[in-house]
Structure 1
């Protein structure tokens, strides 16, 4: 079956915004300054911008740039809209509807970023040639993706979805453990396009607080396709999943440790 696009809940997504921001800031720290374009401000695209909070950090980094956050979720774009407008440095920030699965750069960009987005795009490396081609000489394509699809949080979700009770409803709805590539594979793809590539991985140990915090986390991200597909019938699935997560991620006196591997790539086009 073909899964419907997940319905996003900005409030749920932002419940762990501090932890979610860490990989983005680590990625951004490795992105070089864009080339100095003649006669125009730097042009920056943020693919899968969500509620716009991370796109706003780009405005702090490049206050003279024209920044556009792209997303296909009306709920996320509605939440991001109040952040749009002129920037103190003379640039501007705006948001636009676009589906990253089919997005073709409409103009030349100096930086194209994807923050925890490409894992939703099957075969996303096929888009790399067009994206790199749309970069100005010296421009950068940079992204980070979750690399934890074999972690208990995702494995248990898939096992439950494939169980006799749910398989007829959920077959094909969830992503598999090949949704993203290794750092070495991304390096190969991007280096073949003539880019200088910096690729790496990091496992964060998020210390989460509260009751069932791992469940609360995935309700904002990886569980969204299940919640969308099951609708009002999702409670039974969530209850079974909650019990499995409690065993896999036991609470400690300091909180619940949630290991989370992420894969990064920064590819700079030759000048």
Structure 2
């Protein structure tokens, strides 16, 4: 199957990447995203994906498929198309780490790590719950009627399987979340040269003093660091996207139903006999 990103034109200009953030979701990445925007940067984060809709979500999903062997891995060519207008990449590398490192071998990287147990609990309360929800009715039906729900359903299924090592959000799966996160952090530190990687522990603090010197910019005065993306904030971001998908799916279903009824009425008026369904006999 052809990839959507292959249909996009080669950009006339690609913003040089000033920082690539290798942190997993649920490690202060949303606050970092907002902070970098306040500094004048143009970061790409999951918020950008959800705002752009099904096409951007498909690009993300197909990039993940390439990373896990279900498709062709993304290279610098694909990333340049995807991130042409952005100078910092956040969260996406967590889904396609090796492809990212291969595409940007000389980049400056940042990793915000946290307690594996706390990360697993945060994942369970946010991404995990959303993943479980999208694999249940009515989403298993609505995914055939809305592109965004289809993409989120597929992507979340992949990520849930990866992060829980196939066990899902069971007790075993929750234990596997901890192990997966530990393995991811160890992999980043093994693959990225130390001189290109700044590591910050979330529990030790994440703010202007930790970020600005690494970027080579002054610490802003009198400007508060944006808050962390707590579960309630995550829900506020994700819920409108899900609700929008449900509305579009219902509208599609209504359109299809009305069309079938109209066709039946026309056929009957034209003298055709409607079939008697077996369960009505």
Instruction: Please give the range of the TM-score, normalised by the shorter of the 2 chains.
Output: 0.3 to 0.5
Greater percentage in helix: 2
Greater percentage in strand: 1
Structure with the greater alpha carbon radius of gyration: 2
